[in-house]
Structure 1
Amino acid sequence: MADAAPRLESLVEQLLGAPLPVRIRAWDGSEAGPPGAPVLVVRNRRALRRLLWKPGELGLTRAWVAGDLTIDGDLYTALGLMAGLVWERGDDSRTLVQAVRDPDVRAAVRGLARLAGPFLPPPPPREEVRRGRGHLHTRRSDKRAISHHYDVGNDFYEIVLGPSMVYSCAYWEAPGATLEDAQRDKLELVCRKLGLKPGQRLLDVGCGWGSMAIHAAREHGVSVVGVTLSQEQATYARKRVAEEGLADRVEIRVQDYRDVVDGPYDAISSIGMAEHVGADRYLEYARDLYGLLKPGGRLLNHQIGRRPQQDESAYSVDAFIDAYVFPGGELAPVGTTVTQLERAGFEVRDVESLREHYALTLRAWVGGLEAQWGRAQSLAGPGRARVWRLYMAASALAFERNRIGVNQVLAVRTPESGASGLPLRARTWHG
């Protein structure tokens, strides 16, 4: 008798103390749950064993990456409905930790264990990063983490990012803009905030596939040094630079920002890179960039930020992101970022939130990935493709729901005279 789904629904609701907002389809073909809701497809019993051995987000994502779980229906709707049970549960929510003193929870766990079958921990999917000793953010560990994330294959990133090959929040100035338009407008916004002029030197930290370096050199006449830890990115960027005829003005290096010694520069752009630095290294990062700027030079720091926690001394990292996406990545509140930049000597002159813009960007990336899903799986592998689809869709919802944000912080190495060189009128970005 096919009854796994009703049993599973009842046990999960008993465990969570809340009704399941999605429908369940189990490995035996049975279904249960709200009619018309997105369907969580539990393809095998192994999915349950993953959840029991690693309750919460990591167990769910392991099952997703391995293909043990999938969604039939709109992914955003399903993730939005499940967010309250997984990512947005308050401290007073019922969890498996309470099983030792809650007989209902104990009974639910026993029932799930019986339904899951032989209770051995399944091995993690091969896409999962095996963690070493903490998050040291040495040059070697950072290079490994960057390689894990960015050396997936340039062809795969072309599917996701589109022709612009910009892997950071776009700037949607007008309704109906294309992703390419919005990324061009973001690069131009950064250049205007930096006040770039012909003949100046720009350092682009974490230059990616070279889009910012090319735009700044072509449109504003500056000389650019772009640094990345990804060999694949550097190879791709150098080819683009040569095709644009900008080899005399743009140099792409495979180099750690801590090893750049040929300052001073007139301006520095750091777009979507500082998330990799680590909380313990952030002041060092800020001081290094400060030391590479001329007096009066500007830094544009474009960085994802999280909401402040009650206990800011506690180490906090997203389990899924750390294991599958950005190993060692740490998000800080924007106030912490501003404080660290000021401690390094910078004068912070402007902070602009682009939170909604990143949600739109991520939805565009997911659309690109889904439009070429078969090719994406063949290029990166099914597991890695599933990682990216879940990561980007869940991140879009996180930005939309104000769980995380993204901010452009404009800071100046103000000279002793106090003349910042910035316009009196806010956000004209000229002069």
Structure 2
Amino acid sequence: MADAAGRLTKLAEEVLGAPLPVRIRAWDRSESGPPGAPTLVIRHRRALRRLLFKPGELGLARAWVAGELDIEGDLYEALDRLAGLIWERDDAPKPQRAAVLHALARPEIRAAARELLTLAGAPVPPTPPAEEVRRRRGPLHTLRRDKEAISHHYDVGNDFYALVLGPSMVYSCAYWGTGEGTAATLEDAQRDKLDLICRKLGLREGRRLLDVGCGWGSMVLHAAREYGVRAVGITLSEEQATFARKRIAEAGLADRIEIRVQDYREIKDEPFDAVSSIGMAEHVGRTQYAEYAGALYSLLKPGGRLLNHQIARRPVADEEAYHVDEFIDRYVFPDGELAPIGRTVGQLEDAGFEVRDVEAIREHYALTLRSWVANLERHWDEAARLTSTGRARVWRLYMAASALSFERNRIGVNQVLAVRTPEAGASGVALRERVWPG
């Protein structure tokens, strides 16, 4: 098995029809590829078997999570170089994809496949890493299935999340701002994001707020402490709820804030003055989004405001063919779905909302994710101990790849401010009142 790296480089370039953009180091210590480039380290032949049995993103992800693949050098540069070969190949126009499939049928490519079989060793499909969610059956987005999906992502240990997120315990895009006096740290930027949302919602003492997908309670804490509201936060994560209640009690705000383990479809309260939904709607799914928008509309008083903070993807030519990346679906956010911002705005309007403002903050999420990755890498040994090495590897890969996706405008994030406008003849916002204070 001499010079495995050189043989793999040659195989990859025959299939791709272009030079490999990274260097390869194989399990036999052989190396090949462009000098000075980030190095893809193949620690075990099993990684090749994973690719043979599941070509593409999922096979690579399984090898990464299992520790059979690694990157030496700048992780972001390596992912950026590989993006066009892995994550963005499915985005190519159909004629380009057809050309790739035609190339794979060439005799020399079939010979390359036989060579890969020789390098991979025993033709036995490896068992997926323990952190993977198995393929689910039955209808999407039932109450039970959504709770299981949320538990997979969020119930991995509050101490682990504290290492990654920092003291703010906010798991959504921060707001870094520009100019003098704006956020200099992740903690500052998360505080500024929460304050921006409170101002957009027009919160003040005496008003009642519902935070859908409240996480570890940061939004309701900020709104109650700084704006004097009474708040209800709901989550499907038992671990988040326990942590949030402890924080609220320590802050002396238990009489103003209630945390519930509850689905948004189960709320039967009297209408609220304001609703915030921050990084939660990505879990709702296209089949349920109309119900989600209608439920939030019904939970607001006339004149009440909704702030919907949600990741968006770029539109595609065939929306019905859209599918979630396999790595994200199996390892990160089971059953999660992204929608273009135009669809989100349209569905909120269909539910009866008047959309008053849309703010795109895509670049802010790239900075936020890079901060989270830095936190994870700084506390790597402890993070792996608190969960598992595989789980920590999942989070590092998905956050770093997501940062690049925001930077490359493959995905974005938007704050949509919408109003349940009163009956005809009345205004949801006074003539001289800005939608939110400057």
Structure-1-length-normalised TM-score:
0.97
Partner of 2:245: 238
- Superposed, 1:28-427 pairs within 5 Å as 28-89=28-89, 90-91=92-93, 92-93=96-97, 97-98=101-102, 101-133=105-137, 136-174=140-178, 177-422=184-429
| Structure 1 residues 315 and 93: CA distance shift in structure 2, 3 A | closer
Partner of 2:23: 23
| Structure 1 residues 2 and 424: CA distance shift in structure 2, 3 A | farther
**Shift, 1:198, TM fit:** 0.5
Q: Please, which moves more after superposition, 211-220 or 100-109?
A: 100-109
Counterpart-to-counterpart distance in 2, 1:265 and 1:203: 7
Counterpart-to-counterpart distance in 2, 1:100 and 1:324: 29
Are the counterparts in 2 of residues 130 and 323 from structure 1 also a CA contact under 8 Å?
yes
Are the counterparts in 2 of residues 322 and 329 from structure 1 also a CA contact under 8 Å?
yes
**Shift, 1:190, TM fit:** 0.3
Offset from partner CA, 1:152-190 (integer Å, 9 cap, x none): 000000000000000000000246610000000000000
Offset from partner CA, 1:274-307 (integer Å, 9 cap, x none): 0000100000000000000000000000000000
Are the counterparts in 2 of residues 15 and 109 from structure 1 also a CA contact under 8 Å?
no
**Shift, 1:94, TM fit:** 7.2
Are the counterparts in 2 of residues 296 and 419 from structure 1 also a CA contact under 8 Å?
no
**Shift, 1:417, TM fit:** 3.4
- Letter aligned with residue 83 of structure 1: A
**Shift, 1:135, TM fit:** 5.5
- Letter aligned with residue 110 of structure 1: R
Q: Please, which moves more after superposition, 175-184 or 34-43?
A: 175-184
Counterpart-to-counterpart distance in 1, 2:127 and 2:208: 50
**Shift, 1:100, TM fit:** 6.4
**Shift, 1:120, TM fit:** 1.5
**Shift, 1:240, TM fit:** 0.3
**Shift, 1:430, TM fit:** 3.5
- Letter aligned with residue 186 of structure 1: K
| Structure 1 residues 130 and 20: CA distance shift in structure 2, 3 A | same
Structure 2 gaps, min length 5:
none
Are the counterparts in 2 of residues 43 and 68 from structure 1 also a CA contact under 8 Å?
yes
**Percent of matched pairs sharing the same residue:** 73
Structure 1 gaps, min length 5:
none
- Letter aligned with residue 227 of structure 1: I
- Letter aligned with residue 59 of structure 2: G
Are the counterparts in 2 of residues 17 and 94 from structure 1 also a CA contact under 8 Å?
no
Are the counterparts in 2 of residues 412 and 420 from structure 1 also a CA contact under 8 Å?
no
- Letter aligned with residue 390 of structure 1: L
Counterpart-to-counterpart distance in 2, 1:98 and 1:410: 48
Offset from partner CA, 1:41-67 (integer Å, 9 cap, x none): 000110011111111111111100011
Counterpart-to-counterpart distance in 2, 1:317 and 1:134: 17
Are the counterparts in 1 of residues 215 and 235 from structure 2 also a CA contact under 8 Å?
yes
Q: Please, which moves more after superposition, 401-410 or 173-182?
A: 173-182
Counterpart-to-counterpart distance in 2, 1:418 and 1:167: 40
Are the counterparts in 2 of residues 269 and 299 from structure 1 also a CA contact under 8 Å?
yes
**Shift, 1:103, TM fit:** 1.8
RMSD: 1.7
Are the counterparts in 2 of residues 201 and 265 from structure 1 also a CA contact under 8 Å?
yes
**Secondary structure of 1:397's aligned partner:** helix
Are the counterparts in 2 of residues 398 and 404 from structure 1 also a CA contact under 8 Å?
yes
Offset from partner CA, 1:316-335 (integer Å, 9 cap, x none): 11111000000000000000
Q: Does 1:430 align with 2:434?
A: no
**Shift, 1:76, TM fit:** 0.4
- Letter aligned with residue 60 of structure 1: L
Are the counterparts in 2 of residues 305 and 404 from structure 1 also a CA contact under 8 Å?
yes
Q: Please, which moves more after superposition, 134-143 or 99-108?
A: 99-108
